[in-house]
Amino acid sequence: MYDVIVVGSGATGAWTALCLARAGRRVLVVEAGRDVSADELGRLLRYDKPPDPVPAQPRQSLLPGHSSVIAPFLVDDELNPYATSGADDYRWFRSRQLGGRTLLWGGVTPRLSDEHFADWPFTGADLEPHYERVERAMGVDKDQPLTAAERALAEAFEQQWPGARVLPRPGVAGWPQRLDEHGVAWPAGASPVLFLHDALDLGAELRTDCIVESLALEGERVIGVNVVDRLTCERSLIRSDSVVLCASSIESTRILLNSRNADHPEGVGNSSDHLGRHLRDHISFTVSGTTDRFTGPDSRMQLGGPYGIYLSLPDRGYQVEGWAQRGGARPGQPARFGLATSAAMSDDSANRFTIHPDLVDAWGIPAVDISFGIGADDRAVIQRAEAEIKQACASAGFEITAVDRHYEQISSYVHEGGTARMGASPEDSVVDPWSRVWDAPNVLVVDGACWPTNPYPNPTLTMLAIASRVCDALTDSWGE
Ligand SMILES: Cc1cc2nc3c(=O)[nH]c(=O)nc-3n(C[C@H](O)[C@H](O)[C@H](O)COP(=O)(O)OP(=O)(O)OC[C@H]3O[C@@H](n4cnc5c(N)ncnc54)[C@H](O)[C@@H]3O)c2cc1C
């Protein structure tokens, strides 16, 4: 019998396990995917092709930057199907292995600003100490020097948007790799090397290849999780006092929706009919090109990684982030640059998913049917952003040679959030301000599923700050 079962070992699961293990409780991390070997990690870091056949990925291969090198770290679409039935064909990019998507993520870690919490049941100030804790734990670097080309771009941006300030792009320090205690190299932002190994050292336990199918119910009460062995398909029950869902925004809600009995006929947490609704992602585009005002990469600067420039424009409704003169050109050649712009989506409760009546995954677990569309107002924001970025680049003497309008296809930013929204009342939300499911308070949802809105900054740092706040409250409640 465990005190807490944490579902998932990605960003939020590994960090949650560490916070709870530090409080001295018996913690089990249950991870659906495989453990990863040093060889696999080495190939990923060297960008070497894997020897095995690439998984079937008609959907995952649409992820920008997809290649046979990263393919093993994204799911096999045939084993993990989902349906779409809305105006836009929702692209759900997901990983199933130890560390989840943190083996692939870019490590860019901006905070949300105060205005982004307008519709949340807590404020930016409430989250401040937790942001600090997470940034310390991950080693976030906010002071990387800019290249000369980035400084020129920053100047042009600040002229275009008077009052706006371009900052060094905050990101996980030590890119591209970090060694664990056995000398194995991991991507620098990978949750096992950042958090999970420390949690295990403190006594937390880990089971990989263990898929949570649903919450185990006894009447109204949740008594643990029902799991399926990924390799043998054997089913069993693991008991615990509490369950913390960190399986990622859509997977956590899928588990809640698949947890049904006479007391929870529509799934645990669905008494308000909000479960699965309010799915939002970021809509984005990228531009890249050259500038002959500067030459080649600046050899003193870190190539790749999360560093560069970052600009948040709350009154325009979007952010711009990117790099210049860090790579992609030979010395003496015009410098290259790349910028990514993303905007939030407004609320539309029709953007939702339900459990498909027939479709199941390779383990017989009911799959989701996602209905999703981008509203005309949201498209207008990102189209206006595109015109503004083009103007700012032209005024800086940066020539755009390629534009990728990801917003035409939705979604390519992998920043999905919502579907088990947090709120102050059980009538219009799924979890309370401390992430406890109103209908089952020993179940907590701390990943992006609990977000009441999905503001445009890259979300992972904020997910971890929320997890930190929730874990503090949970451990305080144990002391009572
Ligand atoms: C290429 C790429 C670049 C990105 N760059 C950035 C960036 O720069 N900045 C940023 O903020 N975000 C970025 N992201 C997004 C970031 O990766 C996610 O926000 C973050 O990983 C979410 O954490 P999570 O814990 O919710 O999910 P994940 O990290 O995906 O972890 C979920 C875990 O749960 C496991 N799981 C799922 N279902 C079950 C189940 N039923 N039972 C047991 N386990 C289960 C999965 O196997 C996985 O290990 C990027 C993502 C990608 C793919």
State pLDDT tens for residues 404-428.
998 887 666 899 999 999 999 999 9
CB atoms within 10 A of CB 214: 22
CB atoms within 10 A of CB 168: 17
Taking the C-alpha atoms of residue 27 and residue 45, their distance in angstroms, rounded to an integer, is: 31
CA distance between the termini of the chain:
21
> Ligand 1 centre and the CA of 97: distance in Å?
10
Nearest atom in ligand 1 to 171's CA: 8
Burial letters 459-468, b for 16+ CB under 10 A, else e:
bbbbbbbbbb
Distances (CA, A) of 296 to 156, 207, 261, 309, 450: 20, 47, 63, 18, 44
What mean pLDDT do residues 242-248 have?
98
> Ligand 1 centre and the CA of 476: distance in Å?
27
What mean pLDDT do residues 439-467 have?
98
Q: Which of 9, 62, 94, 105 to mutate to test the pocket of ligand 1 (most atoms within 8 A of CB)?
A: 105
pLDDT band at 88 (very low <50, low <70, confident <90, very high): confident
Cα-flanking dihedrals φ and ψ of residue 283, to 5°?
A: -105, 140
Nearest CA to ligand 1 atom 19: 460
What's the confidence (pLDDT) of residue 89?
Answer: 82
- H helix runs in 69-192, sequence order: 124-138, 148-160, 191
What mean pLDDT do residues 418-439 have?
97
Q: Are strands 309-313 and 318-324 parallel, antiparallel or unpaired?
A: antiparallel
Helix (H) or strand (E) holding 437: strand 436-437
What's the confidence (pLDDT) of residue 316?
Answer: 94
| Higher-scoring residue by pLDDT: 475, 4 | 4
Q: Pick the most confident of 169-178, 202-211, 339-348.
A: 202-211
Task: Please identify which residue in the block is written with the tokens 């999360």.
Answer: 306
Taking the C-alpha atoms of residue 474 and residue 370, their distance in angstroms, rounded to an integer, is: 32
Taking the C-alpha atoms of residue 399 and residue 136, their distance in angstroms, rounded to an integer, is: 38
> Ligand 1 centre and the CA of 297: distance in Å?
31
Q: What is the pLDDT of residues 102-161, one digit of tens each?
A: 999 999 999 999 999 999 999 999 999 999 999 999 999 999 999 999 999 999 999 999
Contact assessment for residue 71 and residue 60, using Cβ atoms and an 8 Å cutoff: yes
Q: Which of 16, 66, 101 to mutate to test the pocket of ligand 1 (most atoms within 8 A of CB)?
A: 101
Taking the C-alpha atoms of residue 433 and residue 446, their distance in angstroms, rounded to an integer, is: 11
Task: Give the domains, in start order, of the chain with CATH numbers.
Answer: 2-138+178-280+417-479 (3.50.50.60), 141-174+283-343+374-409 (3.30.410)
Tokens of 450: 């609990």
What's the confidence (pLDDT) of residue 241?
Answer: 97
What mean pLDDT do residues 280-306 have?
89
Distances (CA, A) of 189 to 123, 137, 281: 27, 11, 22
> Ligand 1 centre and the CA of 299: distance in Å?
32
| Percent share of the chain, pLDDT over 90 | 88
- Return mean pLDDT, the chain: 95
Q: Looking at the predicted structure, is the pLDDT value of residue 331 above 80?
A: yes
Q: What count of residues does the chain have?
A: 480
> Ligand 1 centre and the CA of 450: distance in Å?
15
> Ligand 1 centre and the CA of 102: distance in Å?
6
CB atoms within 10 A of CB 72: 20
Q: Could you write out the DSSP letters of every residue in 394-426? A: HHHT-EEEEEE-GGGT---S---B-SS-B-SST
Taking the C-alpha atoms of residue 210 and residue 233, their distance in angstroms, rounded to an integer, is: 9
What's the confidence (pLDDT) of residue 429?
Answer: 97
What's the confidence (pLDDT) of residue 480?
Answer: 61
Q: Which of 371, 398, 388 is nearest to 317 (CA)?
A: 388
Ligand 1 pocket (Cβ < 6 Å) reads 7-13, 30-33, 93, 95-96, 100-102, 104-108, 211-212, 246-248, 251, 255, 306, 414-415, 447-448, 458-460, 463
What mean pLDDT do residues 445-460 have?
97
Who contacts 136 (Cβ-Cβ below 8 Å, separation ≥6)?
Answer: none
Contact assessment for residue 103 and residue 73, using Cβ atoms and an 8 Å cutoff: yes
Q: Looking at the predicted structure, is the pLDDT value of residue 382 above 90?
A: yes
Nearest CA to ligand 1 atom 31: 10
